[in-house]
A and B are shown apart, each in its own frame.
Chain A
C-alpha cells in the first residue's frame, strides 16, 4: 500500500491499440494488486483489470497534445496505453506501478493475498488434485527394476530436486551420492519417464563435472545401472541438448559432457538448443514483430525470420522427437542433460513425453506433466518468469517454448489432443500471473520452506473445473494415429507463428467466427439431446406401467416443446471493417467522424454501437459487437476483467 502514490486518476484515456484514433475516457485506480480502469459512460461494466504481477514493464512516452502517455507491457503480451492529463499524475502512476510490478519479497506476490471464498479443506483439496505418486504408478512404477530412493527426502543431496526420486533398484546410496557429487548442483541422473511397454526410460540430470579428463566411478555405475534396467537394450543414448561448442567450452570450467570411452555402452548425441539468453533475445524480437502496427507482409515475415524464434522451436521439437523415437521405436533408454538440467532438459523431456504418451495429450495429463517435469524437478519459475525483482539475465521464456511446441503439435494433429489452445494460453497466463501458488519459487524445497500449500491455492483444480472451456471438439482418442507415438513433421513450413498467444489481445487479428467453438456447441447439444431422449424413454417406460393400471385415457394438449430444440448456435456474423486505407490517409476525411463513432466499442465487447439506428449496415456492426462478448471468451477471460475478481471483491483502495 505504501507504494501507491496516487490511488486514483480521473480523465484518463485508454487508447485502443488497433486504431489510435479510438480512445475511451475513464478513471484509473491503483490498488495493492491491480491496476483498474473504469470507463465512463452509460455502459455498466467497462472495466479493465491488470494484475501487477503480470506487468512486465512500464514506459513513459513523450508528451502529446492530449496528455502524457504511459505504456504498460504485460507478460501475457498485452500492451496497454493510457494517456494521463497531468504530468505529475503520470509520473506518480509510473513510479507506483514500477514498484508494484517488481515485488522484492515472495510475500508481496498476489497468490498470498488472493483469497477466494473457500475453506481450508477445499484449499487442501486443490493441492491434492494432482498426485505425482499416482502418476508414477500409472507409468508402472515402482516395479522390480525401479524404486523410490529416500536419499533426497530432506533435500540434502540435491536441494533443487524433489524429495521423491526414482532410481534403478540396483544402485546403492553411496553410488547416488558419488554420482551427485560429480554433477552440477548435485543433479544426479534420475527417472523422468518410464515406458511400460518396453521398459525404456527417459532419465535426466545435469552435466557431469568431467572437465577434460575427470572420471567418477559412481557416475559411470549409475549410467550402467540405468542402461541395465532396460533389459531389452545393449546401449543407451546420452543426449546433450547444448550446441556442441558450448558443451566443449564448458569443459574448460571443469564441466562438460560424458566421454564415450569412460562410460560403457553409451552413445552420446548432441542436439543443439541455444541457451536462455539467446532465447530471451529471440522472444524479445518476436514480441516486437507481433506488436508492429500494420506492417507489410514483407516486414512481418522478415521480422519473424530475424527473430529466429521458430528455428529454436524446431530445434526443441527435433530433440524431443529424437528421444521419443529412441524410446518407442528402438526401445533404448535415454539420459538427457543440458548444463543444470532444469531448462532445456525440462523442455526436451516433456516434449518427448507428449509425443510418446497419449495421456499427456489429455487435460489432466498435461497438468501432471508440467507438475512433474517442471515444477517438481526445479525449473526456476521465479527467475525465469521474473516474479521478483532481480537478475534480468535470469529471465527466459523456457516454458513458453514448451507450451508452443505443444501448440505446434496441435496444429499438425488437430484430433490428437483433448485440450485446445485456450488451455495452453490459460496455463501460460497463470504461470506469469502469480495468482496461484504452483509456479512460485525455484524448487520444491523453497516452496516447502515458504509453506506455499498453506498460504496459497493450486491452479490445477481451478482449471479442471473450467475444463469445458478448454476442450477440443475434434479430439479422437480412439483413432489409431492418435495413439502411441506422434510422428510430427519437422519440415520448416510446419512451424507457424502463434498468433493466438502473441497477438492475444489484438481482437481484430483473429478469425471472427470460431470453428471449434461452434463444433463444441454442436457436440454438447448432441449429447444433451441424447440424454433428454433417454430420459423421456425412461419416463415413458414408467408411465407405460401406470397406464396398465389406469381405466381411462384422456387426450392432453400437446405442449409445443419444439422451441426447445431450435439451434442456439451463437455465431457472430459480421465483422468491423479493417484498416484497408493504409497508405492513403486523406481519402475518407469527410466520413471520419461518422465512422469513428460507429466503431466505438470499448474493449471490443459488451458495448453496442452508439448510433446503431442510423442505417442497416450500422446495425450489422452493432449486432456483431454484442454477439462477440459471448463468442470470444479468450481475451475477455483474464484481461478485460480479472476472472477471479468476483471472488476477491472489488479491491478498490
Chain B
C-alpha cells in the first residue's frame, strides 16, 4: 500500500491552531506522507509549523455534533495532537468528515512499522550528500586512536556476519590473548550472544569497563570454561575485578529458573559481584507516563504534585543510575580494578551505567564530539534497540510492547551531572534536548532500527543521513556549546543525594512559561561570555594592549632619560 493511500483529505482551509503561550492562529493544514504542515495565511512572513508525523504520540479527536446537534452551517471537530517531544497542540478543523479523515491519516502514518518507509529515507536536504562515510567512528578506528589498548587488547571480527551475536557490531574489542573460538563459546553462554567486550579503558590506570549480558548458568549451574578464561584474561593477573550486576541478588537468583543467572564465586574466583537493583522495561516507561501526566496539570496542589512526582519514581531511576555509575567509577578510578557490567540482556541499563561511568571518568567524553562518539559506540553500535524502545512516548494509548525510555533517562542523568558541574561539559542542555527529540522522531537515520545488523539490512547507511555528523558541522555545533566550558582532566563525581537531584525542567516543563524565563537566562550567560571574549579575545585586546604597552614603555624610557638630562 502506498503511503499516500492513507491520505483521504490532504488539505483543509480555515483551521485554527492552538499551542501553549501563543495566540490562536488560523491557516491551512496539509497532511503529507511524513508531515503535518500548518501555515497561516498572513500575506507577508507567513509562519509555518512542520511536524513529523512520527513525532505524534497520540491524537484525541472530539467532533462537536456527534450527539445529534447538527448545526446549520457545517460542523467542526477538534484534534488534540500530543507529540513525543511533549508538545501538545490543538487543531480546530471545520467539517466533521475532514476532521475524521485527517485524524485517521495521522493515526495510520504516525505508526509506520517498515523502516524503509520512514522519513529519513526520503530526507534529502540540498546541503548534504549521501556519499562519504556514515557515522563518526568505527570500532577499528576507535581502537587505532586509543593507543593504550594496543598492548593487551585486539579487535575481533568474529561477529562480522552477525552470527555470533546479532545485536553486536561486526567488530568488537576483546583481550588479545583470547582467540575467536573462545569468544564463540562464551557467546553461546551469554544471553543473546552478548559475550563480555571492552567498553572503556581508563586513561589513568588501564583498568577497563566491560559489558555483556547475563551468563546462561540456568538452574543446574552450568559453567563455561571459555567465558571464565575470557574474564580471567580481562584482569590479567591482578587479583580482583568487580561484576556489577544490575539486578538484585534475588532477581539474579530467580533468573536461573528461566535459564539465565550470574557468575558464581566458585568459578569466577577473582571477581567480586555486587548487585544493584535497577528497574527496567515497562516500569520505567510507566514512570515516564506518570511524570509527564503530573507535569501537565498546573492546577494541582503542591502536595498532589509532590506525591505524583514521588509516585512516578522517575527521579528514583535517575538516582539509581547515577549511584551505580558512581560505584563503577569508584571501582575503576579509586580502587583501580576492572569492572564488568551487566543486567539481563545487556542492552539497556548496562549501556546506561557504562556510558554514565565514562562521562564521569573520561574528559574526552565530555566534549561535543566525544559525547556523540560515546553515544554512537555505547548505544548505536552496541545495539540498544532504539526502534522498539522509542516506538511510543509518554502520551500514547497504545498497549505497551517493548517501549522503555532508557535513553531519555541517560540524557536526564547527563543533565544532572551538568547541573552539578556546569563548567565541565563542552555541550549545553540544548544538545540533550535535541537528542531527546531526535531519538523519537528524526530526519536522520541514526536512531533507526535495533542493531547494526538491521541497519545494514535496511541500507540505513547508504540511504539516510547521519545525525551526529550533521550536529558537528561548525555552524550547527555552535548552538550546542556550553559557553562556560573549562575542560578538566579529573573525574567529576556527582552527588546522588535526593536533595541534589532535580526535575529536568528543561525537558519536562519545556512547553510551560517556566522554560521561557530560563531561556532568557541562557541568553544572558552567552552575552556575558561574548562580551568577555570581545574584550579579552586573544587577537584583538592583546594586540591593542601590547602595542600600547610597547609605545608606553618606549615613551617612559624616553621620559626617564629626559628627566635625567
Give A contacts to B, CB under 8 Å. 290, 294-302, 304-305, 308, 310-311, 314, 412-415, 473-474, 476, 479, 481, 489, 491-497, 499, 503, 506, 508-515, 518-519, 522-523, 525-526, 529-530, 532-533, 536-537, 539-540, 543, 546-547, 550, 553-562, 565, 567, 569, 571, 573-578, 580-582, 584, 587-588, 591, 595, 616-617, 620, 623-624
Contacts and interface: CB of A to CB of B under 8 A. Distances in A.
Contact of A616 (B204, B304, B324, B500): B204
Interface in B171-197: none
Nearest to B498: A300
Interface of B: 204-205, 272, 274-276, 295, 298-307, 309-310, 313, 315-316, 318-319, 323-324, 326-327, 329-330, 333-335, 419-424, 484, 486, 488-503, 505, 509, 512-514, 517-518, 520-521, 524-525, 528-529, 531-532, 535-536, 541-542, 544-546, 548-559, 561-562
A575 B492 CA distance: 6
Given A479-B520, A591-B335, 5 more contacts: A476-B520, A518-B422, A546-B559, A565-B541, A575-B492
B500 A558 contact: no
Nearest to A595: B334
Contacts of B548: 536-537, 539-540
B503 A509 contact: no
A598 to B, nearest CB: 8
Contacts of B486: 518, 569, 571, 573
Given A565-B542, A623-B490, A536 B552 contact: yes
Nearest to A294: B497
B498 A296 contact: yes
A459 to B, nearest CB: 29
B303 A311 contact: yes
A547 B517 CA distance: 54
A305 B303 contact: yes
B315 to A, nearest CB: 5
B554 A555 contact: yes
Nearest to B534: A526
A298 B532 contact: no
The B interface, classified by DSSP as helix, strand, loop or mixed, is helix
Contact of B535 (A530, A556, A577, A584): A530
Given A509-B500, A591-B335, A576 B493 contact: yes
A616 B333 CA distance: 10
A311 B302 CA distance: 5
23 contacts: A301-B306, A301-B498, A489-B298, A491-B299, A491-B512, A491-B514, A492-B298, A493-B305, A529-B536, A540-B552, A553-B554, A554-B557, A554-B558, A554-B561, A560-B546, A561-B545, A565-B545, A571-B488, A574-B488, A575-B495, A577-B491, A591-B335, A617-B333
A496 to B, nearest CB: 7
B329 to A, nearest CB: 7
A286 to B, nearest CB: 12
B550 A310 contact: no
A405 to B, nearest CB: 14
A561 B500 contact: no
Contacts of A595: 334
Contact of A481 (B316, B520, B562): B520
A272 to B, nearest CB: 12
Given A493-B305, A519-B484, A581 B558 contact: no
B302 A526 contact: no
Q: Which interface residue of B532, B550, B557, B559 has the most chain A CB atoms within 10 A?
A: B532
Nearest to B315: A297
Contacts of A582: 323
A414 B306 CA distance: 23
B301 A574 contact: no
Given A308-B303, A473-B528, A512 B549 contact: no
B500 A510 contact: yes
Contacts of B323: 578, 580, 582
A515 B505 CA distance: 17
Contact of A301 (B301, B309, B334, B542): B309
A530 B535 CA distance: 7
A530 B545 CA distance: 11
Contact of A526 (B313, B500, B536): B536
Nearest to B497: A509
Given A557-B553, A623-B490, A577 B315 contact: no
Given A561-B545, A577-B334, A526 B499 contact: no
B420 A511 contact: yes
Nearest to B420: A511
Nearest to A532: B545
